[in-house]
Amino acid sequence: MNWDAIGAVGEIVGAIAVIASLLYLSIQIRTSNRAVKQASGQELMGAMREYYSQLSKDSAIAELWIKGSTEPESMTKSEALQHGLLITQAIILWERMLHLEESGDVDEWFLHHTTFARDNAISSEGFRYWYNERGEQVSPKMRKVIERVLAENRSYSLLGDSYGTSNATSGGKST
């Protein structure tokens, strides 16, 4: 066997090794990208869970949400500030969700649930009031979503209205 033949075989083996390495790298990159997408969706779900948890576990915050959503003009300045911060917190989460939706990095079932809750909150009188005062804080993409929902002129439904509750003075029992 001559050295030219051995060199040619070496080059072929080297080329095959490079191709195999590139294939392996592309698989690893794809796997890594998939993991990052899943982590982004999981992080958003955790943040939404925390947001809902603060509303569900603290009756004062829940009352503030109800008052701010249904009677914004009756809030004190500190209540308006707190309600506005709850809305701002929600918008940050909604904008993150919108970004993940555009890149295809959020589960369809989670998107459906969160979109329904988002659109319902946007339909509240309190959100409209806040948006008229502070809408410039919202990104242009999110503004389009909000304005589409507002144009649909949906009616706001407070979670719990259909549970037979009447008001806080009746101790949560129907009268």
Would you list the DSSP string of the chain? --HHHHHHHHHHHHHHHHHHHHHHHHHHHHHHHHHHHHHHHHHHHHHHHHHHHHHHH-HHHHHHHHHHHH-GGG--HHHHHHHHHHHHHHHHHHHHHHHHHHTT-S-HHHHHHHHHHHHHHHTSHHHHHHHHHHGGGS-HHHHHHHHHHHHTTPPP--TTGGGT---GGGTT---
**How far is it, in rounded angstroms, from Cα 5 to Cα 119?**
71
Q: Do the beta carbons of residue 87 and residue 118 sit within 8 Å?
A: no
Confidence (pTM) = 0.70
Rg (the chain; Cα; Å): 26
Q: What is the pLDDT of residue 160?
A: 55
Is 97:106 a contact under the CB 8 Å cutoff? Answer: yes
CB-based contact 96:106 (threshold 8 Å): no
Cα gap 121→97, rounded to integer Å? 15
Low-confidence ranges of the chain (pLDDT < 50): 163-175
Could you read off the pLDDT of 14-37 as tens digits, one per residue? 999 999 999 999 999 988 877 877
**And the tokens for 134?**
């502070």
Q: Specify the pLDDT at position 101.
A: 86
The predicted pLDDT at position 172 comes to 41
